[in-house]
Structure 1
Amino acid sequence: MENHPNVVAVRDALDAAGVDAAQVIVLDEAVHTAAAAATALGVEVGQIANSLIFDADGAPLLVLTSGAHRVDTAKLAADQGIGRLRRATPEFVREHTGQPIGGVAPLGHPKPVRTLVDTALEQYDVIWAAGGVPRAVFPITYAELVRVTAGTPAAVA
């Protein structure tokens, strides 16, 4: 799993951004939810950066949100000027990220994806994000997450 193409793509993207890619770790079991990831890592669920892909008027939108809450899609659509915002299908997610639901990383995609980063994550010294497959994760700071994703900080809940 350490050499899975998605994990390698995430490590390469982290390296290119000047972040220690060796921090990408592969857990013993898949963690498909923020609660499962928090338990496996021994951290608060709010420290987990859920990577949610939405279909925003036909274009992908990656929302990196705290595992402690849900995205308010109506508010987010209004705030971002999006006419129709809905959860993406697994096929849409794979098409735009090359990664499966449950393992979507904030970077390492075939091409850049518009990204919003939940401001609720800023309260944590360390955030944990998915590493391209459901068993891979890596630690990162809020500032680094915004920088490496070229993301826009946003209140998403």
Structure 2
Amino acid sequence: MPIVSALLLGAADQASKVWAVRNLPLFEPRVLVRGFCDLVHVRNTGVAFSLLSTLDHRWVHPFLILATVLAMGAVLAYIAYLPCRGTAPVGLGLILGGAIGNLIDRARLGYVVDFIDLHWRGHHWPTFNVADIGISVGIALLVIDMVFSTKEPSDASRPAPDR
């Protein structure tokens, strides 16, 4: 289940970015919902919310690729070796798919294509993409799983049967 959701999100992310690059001129907003959502093609050389984008690209770029690959390895290890139930498998798949989508951009282009721009009454959220949505929803699903899942007691904490 996690691998399927990862592949679906990665494909949707890449398809949406191809559409954005072909149809949205760089840095020219197009109103989708007046006063709330625009579509604007931007290039993010940093990480979430453009953090690190002002630093030297020669070392930030390889660092971000390495960090993404290591994070993907950790998610894959979690999927493979730890019990996944509840909302965790889908959440892990969405995180992995988002990482894949943004890694493809970063490795191929040297930046990540972002194009969804939310704002409301003077408040502005940094521009993001479908991969970022998947990562955010995946993290929310993991938190939900941690808070609401029922844990089975381990063998050591179970009371011994009466004889």
TM-score by length of 2: 0.27
Larger Rg: 2
Where is the strand percentage greater, Structure 1 or Structure 2? 1
TM-score by length of 1: 0.28
Where is the helix percentage greater, Structure 1 or Structure 2? 2
Q: Which has the higher contact order (CA 8 A, sep 6+)?
A: 2
